Amino acid sequence: MFDLSYATTYLIGIIVILITYITWYFYNTYQYWKRRGVPYITPTITPFGNTLDLYMGKITFGELFSNAYLEFKRRGEKHGGLYYMNKPVYVPVDPDIIKKIVISDAHYFPNHGMYLNPKEDILSGHLFNMEDSKWKDLRVKTPSIFTSAKMRKMFITMQKMVDPLRVWLDEYSTTGKSVDIKSLLTRFTTDTISACAFGIDTNTLKNENEDLLHHGRQFFDYQWRLLNNTLVVTIPRNVLQMFNFRIFPKQTEKYVVDMFTSIFNYRKKNNIYKNDLTDTLMKLTERREEEKDYTGKRVMEPLNMDEFSTQMFLFFCAGFETSSSTLTFALYELAKNPDCQTKLRNEINRVLVKHDNKLTYDAIMEMKYLEHVIDETLRIYPIFPIVARVCKEDYPIPGTDVTLEKDTFVMVTNMGIQRDPEYYPDPMKFDPERWTYENKLGRPFVANMPFGEGPRICVGKRFGLLNTKLGLLTMMKDYDFTLSDKTTKGCKFVPNQLILKKTGDVWLNIQKLVK
């Protein structure tokens, strides 16, 4: 007869062994930085490490690492360590170490360490996630898209998107209704990048292409993917790939591939050439290219249609989200600081008079205070608040006795350094004057890098800034903005997000100025 007491004892024994092993495993893991002589913040509770507030919805990813940076800085440390669940994460503080990691010694840290499985999850294979030679092959081709000559040409196309934006602004200023400014600006930036990069009229400002906006937001909608992010960081990639783990929904993948395949086929069939992003990527689908680097001659495989569609999707998503968010935060601060708003408007009018009241590429590039306003906005609100890297091989950290082990995650927190009171006194004060030539002197180069730095700096930086300048200029020139009572007071961020999003919408009152 089966002995129930024996089975119970056996089961209890197994449970005790498992608990003992798990306890030992996390205790041993959480000694990692101590054993290596790196300052660290004591983990709060197993198995969360230092991420409990993140999982409780109290902070964002950016705030997690920014808070750690500021704590290590307060202690006078050059660097420090955290634990993302069971994963040790290195947080550099000293600007010289940061510069080495992202620029001088970038070959030790060539990859972001994001999940990549393009065979099963096509959209995960975009340029930001690409690694090593695959990334290098594509990255070396993309800067030619954003030369000064091409930016001038794109600016003409961008200006055509301004008229529909003015129609909306006129309507709201006439009715006296406040406007959810982020929603409006997302449509504007969607239309500009679609026209400049893909040569198509999306007309989202006219309430068309809601599907395009929906699927574009999937790229950054990490609220529902917090568990996914945890799995990506804590579980080896090959294990996730074995189970065909996905980042992007199937319906978004199908929509994207179908849409950009259609654009590709239409241009090919009708022999359309516009010398834009689409043409550049189309060329890369047609041939193998031989190139020389330090290893000698190597062959670049052509992009297949899935890869072509994925890169197009990346440029679209990165373009509309970063520019619209930056514009939203800029207007939020300008609405709170009317003196800055007036100074910006005066500069716009002064420069335009100098250029016969014609808005040209040269005119907008001459507007230094406009540039300062955007710089200050991105300082306080870096849309991508962390610069992630993975150590490819053991790396001796300069000025220390510490060696980072291969495969260690590194989180450079641009949000932390850009809010460091040593470099920016009263860091939460919106002050565009910080960016005059005189005020920038003596500030570390890496104290401002909202687009990243080094070889993996954002390839679309110039386009994003120009798009943002045009949008802000358009609104500041003829309209005055104040905060609506519907806008949530204070500026807290949506938790669990990889990018910065303000909790609650930014509602603004718009008044058209009388000339």
CA nearest neighbour of 427 among 436, 437, 419? 419
355 three-state secondary structure: coil
E strand segments, 336-445: 387-390, 395-396, 403-404, 409-412
What letter would DSSP give residue 264?
A: H
Distance CA 173, CA 306 (A): 44
CB neighbour list of residue 28: distance below 8 Å, 6 or more residues apart: none
Q: Is 491 annotated as a binding residue?
A: no
342, two tokens:
């007036």
Are 100 and 412 spatial neighbours (Cβ–Cβ below 8 Å)? no
Beta carbons of 216 and 95 less than 8 angstroms apart: no
Q: Report residue 240 CA to chain centroid gap.
A: 24
**Residue 147, helix vs strand vs coil:** coil
Q: Which of 63, 109, 59, 99 is nearest to 78 (CA)?
A: 99
Measured CA to CA, the distance from residue 379 to residue 430 in angstroms comes to 9
In angstroms, the CA 33 to CA 408 distance is 11
Helix (H) or strand (E) holding 138: helix 132-139
3-class state of residue 84 by DSSP: strand
Q: Position of tokens 């990243």?
A: 452
The rounded distance, in Å, linking the Cα atoms of 67 and 70 is: 5
Binding-site members are: 458
Binding-site members for heme are: 458
